[in-house]
Structures are given as C-alpha cells and as structure tokens.
Amino acid sequence: MDENVLVEKQHKKGKLYTRERLELLFDNGVYSELTSEENRDGVWVCTGEIAGKKAVVAAQDFTWKGGSLGRVHGRNIVMAQDYAIRKKIPFICINDSGGTRVQEGIGALAYYGEIFRKNVQASGLIPQICAVLGPCAGGAAYSPAIMDFIFTVRNISQMYITGPKVIKEVIGETVTMEELGGSRIHSHVNGNADFEYDSETECLEGIRHLVEILPRNYKSGQKAETSYKVPSFHFQLPDNPRRVYDVHELINCVFDEGSFIEVKKGFAEASVPKGNIIIRKAFGGAYIAMNSKHLGAEEVFAWPTAEIAVMGAKSAVSLLYGKKIKDMPQDQAKVFYDEKVQEYTQMASDLKFGLEQGYIDHVIHPEETRKALSDWLRTSGHVSRRGIRKKHGDIPL
C-alpha cells in the first residue's frame, strides 16, 4: 500500500505514522533498520543516535494488521532488546498495537513472555523507555509496567488488559476506552505513567530530553554538561508554617536549569526455584504472568484439564467471527457460533503444541502432583540461577 495512504490513515486518528515518529526521535531523523522491510511484520526495529547517544527503538506500526503481535513481530522486539542489552544502550519501545494476533495462539503469547523476561534482564542494566502512542492492549500492557519510564499523550494513549467489548460481554459493564486506560487514568489516577503530553511531537521531544540526561547504562555514569545554566536561588519558605508552597520552585533553584525530571522509583528482585502447575484456565496475560516458561519457570506441569489460549472461547469467536455471525440468519448464526466455540475450546485443551515447544514439561494427573513437585524440588536446588550482573533488578516476577 502507498505509504501516503498509511500516513493519512494515522493522521485521521490524530496519530503520526511510524516513519514520522522515528524521524522526530532520532538525531536529524537519521536511523538504520535492523530488519528488512519485508520482515518488519508490523514493528520497525531501528538504531541510531538520540541526543548524541546510541539507542535502539522498536516502533509498532498500527497500519500493519493493527500492530498486532505475532511470532515474527515478537521475535523482532526480542531481537531489539537483545541488541540493547548486548551493546548496553537505551531501549525504547513505541507501543501502537491492538494486542495479540489471536490467530497465532500460544505461539504469539510465547513472545510476550520472552519480551517480559528481557525487560527484567535489562532492568538496572540499561534505560528502558516506553511511549504509548495508541492502543497498548492485552499482553502488550504488561511490558510498559516493568520498564523504567512510560510516556503518554492525551486523547491518544490507551493501555488496558482487556477491551471494553470483552468487559461488556464478561461482566456486563459498559466502559469507554478513555475510562478504561486513557492517559488521564494512568497519569493522574493509578500512577502507571511517568509523563503526559498534549501531542506526539512533545512526547518524543520529552523522550529525547530524558535520554540526554540519563546514562547509557548503569556503568557509564553521566558526564557533567557545561551547557546547563546555574540557576539563581530565589526561593523563600512562607512565613506561616501552615501555608503550602510549590516544592518545584525550590527544585528549580537547586538543579541545573532544564535538568530536573520528576519520575517514580522502585525496584526489587529474588532468586528462587520457579515451578508452575496449570490446572485449568491459563488465558492471555494470565498464562504468561503466572510464572510461565517464558518468564523463567524451570518446570511447568499441566493437568489434563488445562486450557491455554489467548482468551476464552466465546470472546475469541466474537472477535474473530463477529461480523460474519452478524450477517447470518439467526438460526444459522447460533449453530455456527456453537461450532466455533467448541473448536476453539478443543484447541485450547490440546496441550500437544505446548509440549512440543517445551512450554509444558509434563502432563500429570492431579493425584501425581505432590510426587511430581517433590521429585523436581529434590533436584532444583542444584541448578545455577546466576543472572546478568547489574545494579538492580525489577519487581519480582
């Protein structure tokens, strides 16, 4: 498709096209791609200089299959993360995605887990920055939460685990995209976002400024910049001790002009044997986050009753075949819907793919659970769990 058409599609949504974003982010708009155009699969992986520092960027392209994450797409992001970790340079992800490519099932989910694990490995080693410049749905919403900084834009950013349609179907509640996961919610209510802007241009400039201030990695430190002006000290506390004052006025009198950025802090980590038993439903982000192989579980057991999929059968059928079902006569629609729900349920219950790929180690009967865990724990204490050497870790996962 003509790129001008793609640009126009993004502009109609009030968003910039991927190339425009990259040109604003990299110095002089110059960057090189680490993948060929044919292998992008909806994500541009690029490297270049940002504020004079080498960095790598994975920018999702909503005009390609809604920016959905499939296996190739996920592999590209993991490659970008590996590149950043190996070179010890900042990693920046521009999120603009509808979520998991449902048709690819557990194969797509696996790469979300791999992305999360790389996030944890990179934490404390290199800066990790996320810009939510469109939808950031489903499994995609987990990664920003464990990165160092989240940037949002009013009326554009949307970050949520499950969309309004699924919420309506499952619990009967009506909620808008903005109420569910808009910029205001994450910037002013739950505190997930670190920065909020009125436009993408301002947001990308904010990222450039942050990269300029941050060190490349935890070992590089930051050289003093002579370009910053020394502020004059003019702050005075109110005479009345009960009177409030703006602490930013004090900060602006102490820090180099233009160098202060207000952000959140917090980190912790532990190293223990990690095992997992899937006894029933393991859908979407819950499959990944509940100690899956992709987050480093050493042994994964599953009962015969286990179901692993992107989402529940009814929600998946509504998403994949909703328009087709709507156009059918009512009696045919019900038969078709029931058949597809049954097919999807059988697919989710088939553990063969997970076993073949090594995502599941053993299928065990419930009564074998204690012995299976006991046998595993008896040997797991001898496994080395030495991770990447770095300053600090991320939240426990």
The pLDDT assigned to 256 comes to: 78
Q: Cα Rg for the chain, rounded, in angstroms?
A: 23
Q: What is the total residue count of the chain?
A: 397
Are both 3-213 and 275-380 of the same fold? Answer: yes
Q: Where are the domains of the chain?
A: 3-213, 275-380
The pLDDT assigned to 348 comes to: 83
Span 97-154, pLDDT tens digits: 988 998 998 989 999 999 999 999 999 999 999 999 999 988 889 999 999 999 999 9
Helix 105-122 with 71-87: angle, nearest 10 deg: 10
For residue 1, give both structure tokens. 């498709």
- Domain boundaries 275-380, corresponding CATH code: 3.90.226.10
- The amino acid sitting at 53 is K
Contact in structure between 201 and 24 (CB atoms under 8 Å): yes
Contacts of 248 (CB under 8 A, 6+ apart): none
Q: Collapsing DSSP states into helix, strand and coil, what is residue 45?
A: strand
321 CB-side CA count, 13 A: 17
Contact in structure between 151 and 207 (CB atoms under 8 Å): yes
Which of the residues are catalytic?
A: 138-139, 285-286
Q: Please name the helix (run of DSSP H) or strand (run of DSSP E) that holds residue 195, with its range, or none.
A: strand 195-197
Span 258-270, pLDDT tens digits: 778 877 535 345 4
3-213: in CATH 3.40.50.300: no
Span 68-101, pLDDT tens digits: 999 999 999 999 999 999 999 999 999 999 889 9
The pLDDT assigned to 265 comes to: 39
314 CB-side CA count, 13 A: 7
Span 191-200, pLDDT tens digits: 889 999 999 9
